[in-house]
Amino acid sequence: MTETFLNIADTIIVIKSEFAPEKETTSHFRYSNFILENSTPKTDINITLKVIPRHRIFKREEFFKTESDLQKRYRLELARLPGPGRRNLDKAEERYFGSGLNWRIGKSGRKILIEGGSAGRYQLLINEDLTDGELFIINANNEWKLKEIIYGFLQVFIIYYMAKRRIGILFHSAGVKEGKNGYLFAGLSQAGKTTMSRIWGKIPGIKILNDERGIIKKDKNDFYMYPTPWHRSYPYYLAEGSNGKTRLSKLFYIYHREANLAERVNYIEGFNHFFKTLFLSFWDKECVSFAFDFLLDILSKKPCYKFGFKNDKRVVSYIRNLK
């Protein structure tokens, strides 16, 4: 039995399996700093991984309906969309998972069931506390890759785990560390998160925490930003090898503009902007309620801005001069 330990936002995950994952060469740097080289006596999530040639069939209760549950004429056929990791399902899998299924979540007995389809075939059966479970990787070649675990089910699972345990939330955001200051740049797709990361990444002494998804947790009545391995088109910051937390100083809801303009907003107006950038466990009303309260707590204690920015290096001095 081999053990692989991961640390994502100070949450320790151990994956136990009969054999080690396939070694990566080209993209290993993108997630290597989230791997713990040595075992640790304290783990938060224990996963037993098994590689199986065919999917298991679970009787499940639905938390919510996915694309595969809709009538065919209303269904978005995800399998036809281009994208990395998209896989064709055989007929038996398609009958079970549904055509074009990305992922779904439900209950099987007293356990939570998370399943992935054409974007990566897996089945996670875990207790309701989300601390102890079995992960079935469907692979006829009897192998598994850590990259596919990190970029597959862990993205959905960590969002759920953070909210369920009431310890943090995940933003659609870029994160920047300058000295003791941490800046969160949240926004919808194409708002400029990766652009902002590239601008700051050229400044000496600056550390980029993430360019796509960042976690915020609370510790001793203050808030801290954590990097994640879930990047977009600027993964190079992950080669710096740091996985520590950074104190959150300011939050910016960003969009593109011809000239830089930061408008300070109160926490109510800020909520209307930043709530749209959260990754929510929308199938669980208690988790959504927690995210609602947690975001309001952040915005009531930290300066927040609606920030239109121009794509050039002057944005750095503009932010530094904000009072």
From CA 127, how far away is CA 242, in angstroms rounded?
A: 31
Largest Cα span, the chain: 60
End-to-end CA distance of the chain: 55
From CA 180, how far away is CA 182, in angstroms rounded?
A: 7
From CA 236, how far away is CA 175, in angstroms rounded?
A: 14
Distance of CA 59 to the CA centre of its chain: 28
pTM of the model as a whole: 0.86
Strands 11-17 and 45-52: parallel
Question: Range of 46's domain?
Answer: 2-164
From CA 263, how far away is CA 225, in angstroms rounded?
A: 22
The 10s digit of each residue's pLDDT in 206-250 is 999 988 899 999 999 999 999 998 888 777 667 665 678 999 999
What DSSP element (H or E) covers 126?
A: strand 122-126
We report the CATH number of the domain holding residue 266 as 3.90.228.20
Q: Does residue 26 sit in the same domain as residue 83?
A: yes
Q: Is the pLDDT of residue 140 over 90?
A: no
Band of residue 92 on the pLDDT scale cut at 50, 70, 90:
confident
Q: Does residue 143 sit in the same domain as residue 173?
A: no
Q: Does residue 218 sit in the same domain as residue 77?
A: no
Residue 54 has a pLDDT of 87
Q: Does residue 273 sit in the same domain as residue 173?
A: yes
Q: Does residue 146 sit in the same domain as residue 233?
A: no
Q: Does residue 214 sit in the same domain as residue 305?
A: yes
Q: Which of 68, 117, 67, 66 is nearest to 88 (CA)?
A: 117
| Final residue of a structural domain among 164, 179, 200 | 164
Q: Which of 143, 138, 114 is nearest to 126 (CA)?
A: 114
Q: Does residue 49 sit in the same domain as residue 173?
A: no
Strands 132-138 and 111-116: unpaired
Residue predicted with more confidence, 127 or 156: 127
Q: Does residue 178 sit in the same domain as residue 264?
A: yes
The 10s digit of each residue's pLDDT in 287-321 is 999 999 999 999 999 999 999 999 999 999 999 99
| Final residue of a structural domain among 124, 149, 164 | 164
| Final residue of a structural domain among 164, 194, 228 | 164
Among all chains, which residue has been given the structure tokens 């600056």?
206
Number of domains in the chain: 2
From CA 68, how far away is CA 214, in angstroms rounded?
A: 29
Q: Does residue 155 sit in the same domain as residue 248?
A: no
Residue 219 has a pLDDT of 93
Beta strands in 239-283 (DSSP E): 246-247, 250-256, 261-265, 278-279
Q: Is the pLDDT of residue 74 over 60?
A: no
